[in-house]
Each structure stands twice: as C-alpha cells, then as structure tokens.
Amino acid sequence: MPLFSFEGKHPQVHPDAWIAPTATLVGDVTVEAGASVWYGVVVRADFGAIVIRAGANVQDNSVLHGGDDPVTEVGPGATIGHLCVVHGCVIGAEALIGNGSTVQDGARIGRRALIGAGSLVPPGMVVPDEVLALGSPAKVRGPLTAGAAQWVDGNPAIYQELARRHAAGVERLD
C-alpha cells in the first residue's frame, strides 16, 4: 500500500486494520483497529489530521481530505460508501455516507445517521443522530426507517468480515 509522509508526519496504521494495496495514505493519517480502507481510496492529511476510527470502513475510490478543522474524523463503525468525497468534517459513530455523496468542510454527521446516495452535505451542516438526510443540498427527512436502520446496523460487520477475507484471499497476479 502506498504510504507517504508529508512534512515529517506519516500515516499510523493499526496492525489489525486492513488497507487495500491500491489505497493511498498521505501525512497525518491514523487508521485504528478493525478499520478498512478499500481499493483506490485516497486519504490526504496535509491541512489537518485524519482519523479513521475502529471498525470504520472507507469504500472504493473515495477521497478523504483534511480541512481547516484540526481533525477530520470517521467515527467508530462508520461507513463511507463508494465514490464519496469527505472534506474537513466529522462523521459520527456508525453513520453511513451513501455512495457518491459529498460531505463538505465543517459538517457534522450524527451517530447512526444515514446520508442518502448522491447527496451533498453543505459546509457547516449539522445532521442529528439517527436520521435520514438526502438531496443536494441535503435535508433531514426524518428518523431512520426500519429498512434504513438495517443498512446502518449491518454494514460495519459486513465490511469487517469482507476486510478479513481480502486480507487472507487477495493475491496480486502480475
């Protein structure tokens, strides 16, 4: 996996985390135990630190970039879906950011909140705990439905198991 220091700060990856071989981590990045960073992801901490907490997953081709806040954080058990941009914000524990969404500087996503696929969370927006927010710009639509809660509840364990399978079963062929 490509790891790069930036101005003397370098990524710290827990031995029980899984980083895909094509993910790139630059600068003041911390990846905690049980977290996974998938293929094509770029985590660039050159403005501020980025912390990916225990059990969180950042899925394929997403970009995390530090902003003006001192720390960009992906909370414990949170999910960043495929093709997301997460910039200078805080994602709460077990929150789920749907595929193709953008979360901008200073936004705060609450615990177990679900951001619908393709949404744009504008700068500084605060999304409360356990709600569905979606659209461009994102708007809170109400509490999580039973179906949405199943996605939020199930995704962390699915990706932790999938990371174990990839750690044991992926083999480079060239």
With the C-alpha atoms ordered 121, 27, 40, 54, is the resulting torsion angle positive or negative? negative
The reply to whether omega before 137 is within 30° of 0 (cis) is yes
For the whole model, what pTM was predicted?
0.96
CB 97 within 8 A of CB 117: no
pLDDT at 69 over 90: no
pLDDT (tens digit per residue) in 151-171: 899 999 999 999 999 999 999
What is the distance between the alpha carbons of residues 127 and 139, in angstroms, rounded to a whole number? 9
- Give per-residue pLDDT as tens, 124-154: 999 999 999 999 999 999 999 999 999 899 9
Residue 55 CA to residue 64 CA, distance in Å, equals 17
Domains in the chain (CATH in brackets) are 3-169 (2.160.10.10)
Q: What is the pLDDT of residue 171?
A: 92
36-37/57-58 β-pairing: parallel
Residue, of 70 and 90, whose pLDDT is higher: 90
Residue where the block lists tokens 């941009």: 85
Tokens of 155: 């995704």
Q: Which residue has the tokens 């981590």?
A: 25
- Kindly tell me if the per-residue pLDDT of 1 is higher than 80: no
**Whole-Å CA distances, 164 to 57, 151, 160:** 12, 20, 6
Other residues' Cβ atoms within 10 Å of the Cβ of residue 108: 18
